Amino acid sequence: MPTHLTSLHNPHVKDVLKLEKRSERVARRLTVVEGVREVSRALAAGVTPVRAFVCPERVDQAAMHGVLVQLTRLDAERRCHLFTVTPEIFSRLAVREESGGVVLVIPFLDTRLERLPVQATPFLTVIDRPEKPGNLGAILRTADAAGVDGVIVSGGVDVHNPNVMRASLGTIFTVPIAEATADAAIAWLQQHGVQLVATTPDAVTPYTAVDLTGPVAIVMGSEAEGLSAQWLAAADLRVVIPMFGQADSLNLATATALLLYEVVRQRTGSGVIRPPGGDTHPR
């Protein structure tokens, strides 16, 4: 049976609030997930929460019925500790009012590079030192929609930041994601014969003018500094997004979406399509 919590000073509540700090998340290898889609996708992906907090007054019964059944079963099996909480406590645990009435504490995902799937014609993206969790989350949504095989994050923002979870709408649980140093990521990509396509304003070739139908990794740089010299040196191709106005750069998530969907456009136009979770095959 769930344990009911009524005080903001309860040790279990305080324990969750500590996970707002990156150092605490990293030390304990735990993070927080909230939201109907986020929680549903986490459980659908086989993630077993350490703890779950449900607010009966806030829970969306229609949208979360299956989630509640699963959490109750996990609690009965002693695989997850289920708590019910007051609206006051839930308001402190959840950032969003429309989060569906459920907050999970989950273990870190396995983000080892060697766990990324290697398809017959790999379609990957590398994000070099992203600075904003919201941008990384948005990139994961685009990667999911575009059928990307995996996202490699090289430094920068903590991929387990709850804001990444929220901004991704739970697609962090549907798109394979890896964390790696530039050295390790470059070596792995080269080992698998993946062409590195780097975007930089210093390039002269538009991104639409190169062949992206083969094994490819789209490499995008940080919001403030762009790509590091190491990634630029390793790139097989350097491309630019043409800019015709006064702005000298695009939002990282927007720029990444342009490149990823150019890969989709070229592969679809060449008679190659990628079913969800599968290799490319003739159309």
Do 245 and 261 belong to one domain?
yes
Query: Comparing 275 with 19, which gets the higher pLDDT?
Result: 19
**Tell me: the pLDDT tens digits for 12-23?**
999 999 999 999
CATH number (domain holding residue 209):
3.40.1280.10
User: For the segment 67-99, what is each residue's pLDDT rounded down to a tens digit?
Assistant: 999 999 999 999 999 999 999 999 999 988 778
> How many domains are contained in the chain?
2
Does residue 282 sit within a domain? Answer: no
Dist CA 203 CA 233 (whole Å): 13
Q: Are residues 79 and 117 in the same domain?
A: no
- How high is the mean pLDDT of the chain? 92
Q: Which of 111, 140, 113, 122 is nearest to 252 (CA)?
A: 140
* pLDDT value for 277: 44
Does the pLDDT at position 282 exceed 80? Answer: no
- The most confident of the ranges 56-60, 262-266, 267-271 is 262-266
Tell whether 72 and 136 lie within a shared domain.
no
Q: Does residue 125 lie in a domain region?
A: yes
Residue 93 lies in a domain: yes
Q: Is residue 212 part of a domain?
A: yes
Average pLDDT on 175-186 reads 97
Residues 215 and 139 in one domain: yes
Distance CA 46, CA 147 (A): 20
Q: pLDDT at residue 29 above 70?
A: yes
Q: Is residue 83 part of a domain?
A: yes
> What's the angle, vertex CA 56, arms to CA 51 and CA 58, rounded to 5?
100
Global pTM reads 0.90
Q: Which pLDDT band, with edges at 50, 70 and 90, does 61 fall under?
A: confident
Domain end, chosen from 45, 79, 107, is at 107
Q: What are phi and psi of 193, to 5 degrees?
A: 65, 35
Tell me the CATH number at 36: 3.30.1330.30
> How do residues 114-136 score in pLDDT, each as one tens digit?
999 999 999 999 999 999 999 99
Task: Tell me how far apart the alpha carbons of residues 13 and 11 are, in angstroms, rounded to a whole number.
Answer: 5
Residue 274: predicted pLDDT? 53
Better-scored residue on pLDDT, 269 or 275: 269
Would you state the pLDDT for residue 270? 55
Domain boundary among 63, 87, 107: 107
68, 31 contact by CB (below 8 A):
no
All residues at 6 or more sequence positions from 269 whose CB lies less than 8 Å from its CB, including other chains: none
Q: What is the pLDDT of residue 283?
A: 26
Same structural domain for residues 210 and 264?
yes
Same domain, 38 and 119: no
Same domain? 209 vs 249: yes
Amino acid at 213: T
Alpha carbon of 55 to those of 7, 89, 219, 282: distances in Å? 13, 8, 42, 49
**Residues 193-205, mean pLDDT to the nearest whole number:** 95
232 and 140 inside one domain: yes
For the chain, percent of residues with pLDDT exceeding 90: 84
Question: Are residues 134 and 259 part of one domain?
Answer: yes
Q: Are residues 86 and 132 in the same domain?
A: no
Identity at 144, one-letter amino acid code: D
Q: Is 196 inside any structural domain?
A: yes
Q: Are residues 189 and 52 in the same domain?
A: no
Whether 102 maps to a domain, the answer reads yes
Using pLDDT thresholds of 50, 70 and 90, give the confidence band for residue 166. very high
Span 218-262, pLDDT tens digits: 999 987 888 999 999 999 999 999 988 877 778 999 999 999 999
Specify if 52 maps to a domain: yes
pLDDT of 276 reads 42
Kindly tell me if the per-residue pLDDT of 281 is higher than 70: no
Task: Examine the domain organization and report whether 139 and 268 are in the same domain.
Answer: yes
Amino acid sitting at position 244: F
Q: Domain ends where: 107, 138, 157? A: 107
Range of the domain at 100: 3-107
Which pLDDT score, from 0 to 100, does residue 244 have?
A: 87
Cα angle vertex 14, ends 82, 159, to 5°?
Answer: 80
